[in-house]
Amino acid sequence: METPLLSVIIPVYNARETLPLALDSVLSQGLDDMEIILVDDGSRDDSLDVCRDYAGRYPFIRYTSQKNGGPAAARNTGLQMASGRYISFVDSDDTVLPGAFSGLLSSAGSADLVIAHFNLLMGSQVLDRGYVKENTEMNQRRFLHALSRRPGSYYYSALWNKLYSREIITRHGLAFDPRMSWGEDFQFNMRFYRHVRKVSFFREPVYNYRRTVSGQTWRTMFEFNRSFAIKAALYKSLKELYHSAGLYSRYRPHITLYIFNVTISQ
């Protein structure tokens, strides 16, 4: 395959039951110029067999397996394998909405990043989530102004409602911190945002996110020493973002409020 337009990275861990739904939602996008990268992160169920099965049926699906290292390590492996102009992340227990990738790609233009609405699934409820309510573009300064109001929201901190320029990732050596048991997506985004010149916004939902918190996540969030270290790292990444843009003094109250909010909510 020649260099694809889009690389879709899916970390896989004990996802035998949900991975086929996630993969089928990606395959149903009808996008020819795409590669799908599956990274089995030491699953103890039959997830690797699912990866092999799909890769055997679709030549643009590649997979690898590695010792369990967490989602950050799995995504880093996916980034190393990816060759597309753009990167998209999908979790193995979620689904992509019809037309999602075509909508994101059509919004990209000359932007380094596309951010879209998403659906938050809570029981039988489907809630459209997103703060920018129109299809528009912002330069970095305007984007950081919008971000300052809600930096910890899924809209800005999650991976799966976005389209990333791989050129920025490779040029600046961006990667996920595998030492972080949560918050690695926020930290990655804050580092990526330091390098964007233009951000495009897509008003339509592109992703179905079912909010669940595993027992392991709950335990790590409330282990004081580890939790404190992660919160400090997240605050540092947000602070460095605004320092790099020369905007820290202007948005210092919002940045301080973020660390207060993340401390009481997590």
What DSSP character marks residue 8? Answer: E
- Confidence (pTM): 0.93
Q: How many CB atoms lie within 10 A of CB 246?
A: 9
Cβ neighbours of residue 66 closer than 8 Å, sequence gap 6 or more: 39, 40, 41, 42, 73, 74, 77
Residue 131 to residues 116, 201, 204: CA-CA distances in angstroms? 9, 10, 11
Residues forming a β-bridge with 205 = 117
208 phi and psi angles, rounded to 5 deg: -100, 110
Amino acid residing at 259: I
Q: CB-based contacts of 81: which residues, under 8 Å, 6+ apart? A: 7, 37, 39, 62, 64
Q: Based on the number of CB atoms within 10 Å of its own CB, is 115 exposed (0-12), middle (13-18) or buried (19 or more)?
A: buried
> What pLDDT shows up at residue 261?
66
Residue 152 pairs with which residues in a beta bridge?
none
The DSSP line for 12-81 is ESS-TTTHHHHHHHHHTT--SSEEEEEEEES-SSSHHHHHHHHHHH-TTEEEEEE----HHHHHHHHHHH
Beta strands 125-129 and 113-122, pairing class: antiparallel
CATH architecture of 1-95: Alpha-Beta Complex (3.90)
**CA 48/CA 51 separation, integer angstroms:** 5
pLDDT digits (tens, 9 = 90+) for 175-194: 999 999 899 999 999 999 99
Q: What is the mean pLDDT of each run of 10 residues along the chain (266 residues)?
A: 90 97 97 96 97 98 97 98 98 97 97 98 94 98 97 96 98 97 95 98 97 51 68 94 98 87 48
* Residue intervals in the chain for CATH 3.90.550.10: 1-95
pLDDT tens digits along 33-69: 999 999 999 999 999 999 999 999 999 999 999 999 9
Chain length of the chain: 266
pLDDT at residue 258, as a whole number: 85
| Phi, psi torsion values for 44, nearest 5 degrees | -105, 5
Q: What is the SS3 assignment for 90? A: coil
pLDDT tens for 125-142 read 999 999 999 999 999 999
Per-residue pLDDT at 1: 53
> Cα separation of 220 and 136, whole Å?
38
> What letter does residue 141 receive in the DSSP assignment?
H
How far apart, in whole angstroms, are the C-alpha atoms of residue 51 and residue 237?
34
